[in-house]
Every structure is written in structure tokens, then in C-alpha cells.
Structure 1
């Protein structure tokens, strides 16, 4: 009797796990093309060998200099944040410094909060494709949010998936894409106290990536509605038949 009960329990847990995994992979979704305006490809400059930029942010310093903060990866999976100053006269970037820290586990996005400080998201902790697949299947992620104050780092959130991040125009609200849950977390951010507190959560029904807050405080975000197709594309980017559909959403918040 005990063995039978144990078998039923394990069977139920297995069915639940498989069902949740299938839903997470968006196997139940179908996407229809909708283009309200003209789409065109924007060509960009070629990145130097060994320089693979990811998340970007900027800070305007007191003298008007634009300082750029860049999350950079390497082929050997070494991560860093590179700080560059833009020379408007010569129209090129001058390297200021490169920051490496043990808390930059798998950095994805970055938000500058000062001339040398920033918030950084880790979208997981695995350093290999196999490890990444295990995190996706198991749901145990080692990602989160880190604050670097210019000298040292502080963990603000651990064991979560944090993909795109963005601060509100007043700098008091942090938006975090929990792409695996298809939600956007809304958090109050106090830089003086180095405090992050959850306010609410937005269910998006799509995997939102990075954000942009426009001058009217609308949030724009690029999203991946079908996870399984995105993973297939990432697994073989040279195959044009494997592509992940995408969406661009504009989100408007109430005054409250």
C-alpha cells in the first residue's frame, strides 16, 4: 500500500513537472505577424575580436561627458563591465577602466546610477550550455541583481532570473524582466540605503528582454513569445529556418 501511494505521488509530481516545463517552453502558443509600421534592418559597426558587448547604459557626467557602461563577454565565458567615455569632437570612445567581480556571474543587462556605480542583472549562474539547460529544466537559477557602488558589489537579489533591467526616469523604481516566468517585477530602489523592495509584478504572457523608458515614462520592451523557438535559434544561429518570433510592447503605467 505504501509503495503504491509513493508511486502515485511520484507519478503526479512527474506529470506536474512535465506539464510546467511544456508551458514554460510555450509549446501551446502560436504567433501571427502584425506590423503596424515599416520594419527595416539597422546595420551596425563590426565588434572587435574578443569584444562581445551585451547590456548597455550611459551616464551624463557634470562636465557633459557621456560615459558608457557595457557588459562584455568573451569566448572563454569571462565577464566584465567596460567603462568608456565618448569623445564628441573625435567621435570615438576612450577606455576608462574594466571592472571584474565575482558577483558578475552571468551578467546580462546594466543600468548606470553614477559616474562609477551601476546595477547589474545576472540571468543565471551556469557557465556551460549543459548547465544552462539544467537551470532551465530544474528551475533552480543562480541569477539576480547586483549593485556596484564604485568600489565593491552588493547582492540585492539572489536565486532569480534577472534579464533586462531599467530604472524609471526619477531613479526610484527598478523594472526587472523575470523572463522565465514571463513577468516584469517592479521594485522600489533606494540608492543611499542600497535597498530593493518589491512593489508589484506584471504578467506579460511573453518573455520580455530589455527595456527602454521614453520621455513620457512609457516602457518599451522587446519580447520572445515562444521560448522553445528562441532556444532552437540560439542552439544553431547559422540555420535560417530556425528563428524565434519576437514582439515589441509598449507598457503604460497608472499614476499609482
Structure 2
């Protein structure tokens, strides 16, 4: 009798865990295509537009050429046949396509595989610095570039590699050389990564670098992904792609953080962008995350795309909010959406390895 009870308990535990995995991968989700207005493709020769960050005057920086082999440590596999690029798109001239930005300075372009990006702007001089997660084959790095608005070039300023950066996904700049970043996992071996993935182990973390030293400010997280900061620099937003949620942290004067609220969005939320006019969160999401695996293996296989907006009803509180689904595509126009950036009722939707889409926003409450 006891053996039967133990067996039933084990079976229930296994069944519950399998359900959690399937739910986190979006097997229960259905997509219905709709756009906020007219949409078109941006023509870029690179592969993907994993992250997008926009200046206050409407210049959008786009990262392209993520190194997918970081998600499979089989050393016999070579990186995909592409190179890392940064593109610039001007929201003020929406009919134009994005242009590639050349690099200046002593910088290893051949081993540049960008992922998350972030902008820091000097409020007095207008200087723009671009922070880029770089999955260099030797080590995880954050590259810092100065943007020259006249020549439209990026001058490499600094490479940061510290011990707490072991699987960096995204970065948000808070100063000229300081930033928060997410580690979406801990393990560096194939079996360790598989255990984190299938056992849903919360081994991710958030780190902070002040320009000289680094520290982990939050640990025990399940797959932290996109990260961003509120316009007043008081709150940090972090996405969990497997939990389908956004966590809000308050930032203390010593740069430590404290969890305030978890907002469930019930989809594979990837990157977070902030509307500078009202502080709304714009989320690039994977509503059926399980389809991303086949999409990564063969880009022609579709993986649906989704954009959500989280609107806060009170400026002094996160207790009241609304979630609006702004954009959904079945993967025909754009597969595997990872980011959504807005500027004056204009929307850019980026993808991990597929296309980039521009939309006019005509339907938004």
C-alpha cells in the first residue's frame, strides 16, 4: 500500500513538472493575427534584429547577428555564416530602410556577435553611448561605443568582461560605464544547461557593474531575459521568458535592488522597451515558445510573434495596470519577435534571426 502511495506521489510530481514545462513553452496559447495599422518589412542584409534601443530624438539602434551556438555547446558546430552588425533606423523618416553603422577604433569585428543593447544619453551634451552584449567565442563581453551623429559611425570605447558575466542576455546602461545585466543561466556545460532548461532550475541572475567592480544583485531567477529601467531611474524591469512575467525592482542608492511586484503576462516575454512619453512597457514576445527550436534550426519554419503593451494607470504605483495586445503575426511576416520599440505612434518589431517590421500605430487606447 505504501509503495502505491509513494508511486502516486512521484507520478503526480512528474506530471505537474511536465505540465509546467509545456505551459512555459506556450503549448496552450493560440494566436490570431492582427496589426495596429499598416506594416512593412525593413530591408537589412543581416540576420535578425534581436534588440532595439531608441534615442530621445527617434534614432533606433538595432543589433543583428546573434551567435546561436551559445545555446548549444557542441564544439563541432560552427557559428552561423553571418557577422554581427548594428543598424540605424530613423523614426523621423519612416519610409527609409535601416542602414548599417561602421566601426572605428581597435575592435575585433570578426568575433562580434551582438545580443541585447542599451543606450545612455548625456542630458546636457546629447552624447550617445551604445552598450552591446557581445558573445565573443572567448568570453562574454559588454562593448561600449561612442556614436558620432555626423559621420554615423560607432567608435569602440571599452570592453567589459568580469567574473559575474557568464551568460549575459541583456544590458541596461545607467551611466557612462555603469550598467545592470542579466545572466539567463549559470551552467557552461551541455548537461548543466539541459538540466536548467528541463528541470526549470532558477539559476539565473542580475548583475551590476559600476565602472570598476561588479556584483550580483539578484540570484535564484528562472531565465531572466530582457532588462530595462524606468525613465526616472528608480525602478528596474526584468523579463522571465519561461515564467511569462515581468518583475519590477526598486533601486536603492547603493545600486542594490528589491523585488516590488511580478506582472504575469502569460507569454514568452523576451525584451522590454520603455515608452519615454508615459513609461509604458513594450514587450516583444514568443506566444508559442516551443516553435522557436525548429525556427532556430530552419529559419523558414514559422514561430509566431507578439507585442504587448503594459500601461500603468497611476504614475505613483504599479498596482493598477492594463495589458494590451498590440501586434500578433503567425510567423509569415515576422517569426520569433524579440523586441518592440515605439516612437510617436510608430512601432518597430525585431526578431531573433528573422526580419524587422515597421508599423504605424492607428489602434491604441
- Tell me the equivalent position of 2:219: 158
Query: Matched residues in 2 for 1:175 and 1:167: separation?
Result: 6
Q: What does residue 15 of structure 2 align with?
A: 15
- Give the Cα–Cα distance (whole angstroms) in 2 for the partners of residues 140 and 3 of structure 1: 28
Match of 2:311 in 1: 252
Which position in structure 2 is the counterpart of 1:181? 243
The answer on 1:94 being equivalent to 2:159 is no
1:27-176 correspondence runs (5 A): 27-44=27-44, 46=46, 47=85, 48-61=109-122, 63-74=125-136, 76=137, 78-127=139-188, 131-160=192-221, 161-176=223-238
Give the Å deviation of 1:130: 5.1
Of the structure 1 ranges 179-188 and 8-17, higher mean CA displacement relative to structure 2 is found in 8-17
CA-CA distance at 1:39 after TM superposition: 2.2
Q: How much has 1:157 moved relative to structure 2?
A: 1.0
Question: How many pairs are equivalent?
Answer: 251
The question of whether the paired residues in 2 share the 8 Å contact of 1:77 and 1:127 is answered with no
Structure 1 residue 181, shift from structure 2 partner: 0.5
- The alpha carbon displacement at 1:247 in A equals 0.6
Structure 1 CA distance, aligned partners of 2:238 and 2:211?
22
TM-aligned CA deviation for residue 172 of structure 1: 0.3
Matched with 2:302 is 243
Cα displacement (A) at 1:77: 6.4
The answer (yes or no) to whether the contact 1:218–1:250 under 8 Å persists in 2 is yes
**How far did 1:45 drift?**
6.4
Cα RMSD after superposing both structures = 1.8
1-structure distance, mates of 2:39, 2:185: 32
Superposition TM-score, scaled by structure 1 size:
0.91
Higher relative contact order structure (alpha carbons within 8 Å, sequence separation ≥ 6)? 2
CA gap 1:157/1:17 in 2 versus in 1, 3 angstroms: same
How much does 1:126 deviate?
3.3
1:213-245 deviations in whole A, cap 9, x for unaligned?
Answer: 1122121111111111123322x034x1x2211
In proportion to residue count, which structure has more strand? Answer: 2
Q: 2:280 aligns with which of 218, 242, 248?
A: 218
Q: Which residue of structure 1 lines up, in the alignment, with residue 104 of structure 2?
A: none
Separation of aligned partners in 2, 1:30 and 1:130 = 32
Maintained 8 Å contact 2:21/2:200: no
Q: Does the aligned pair in 1 maintain the 2:24–2:268 contact within 8 Å?
A: no
Q: List runs of 5+ in structure 2 lacking aligned partners.
A: 47-84, 86-108, 318-365
Per-residue Cα deviation, 1:121-175 (whole angstroms, up to 9, x for no partner) = 1111233565433312101132111010111111111121211111110000111
Q: Structure 2 CA distance, aligned partners of 1:77 and 1:131?
A: 19
Structure 1: which 5+ residue stretches go unaligned?
Answer: none
8 A contact 1:25–1:227 mirrored in 2: yes
Partner residue in 1 for 2:65: none
Structure 1 SS opposite 2:139: coil
Q: Distance in 2 between matches of 1:77 and 1:132?
A: 18
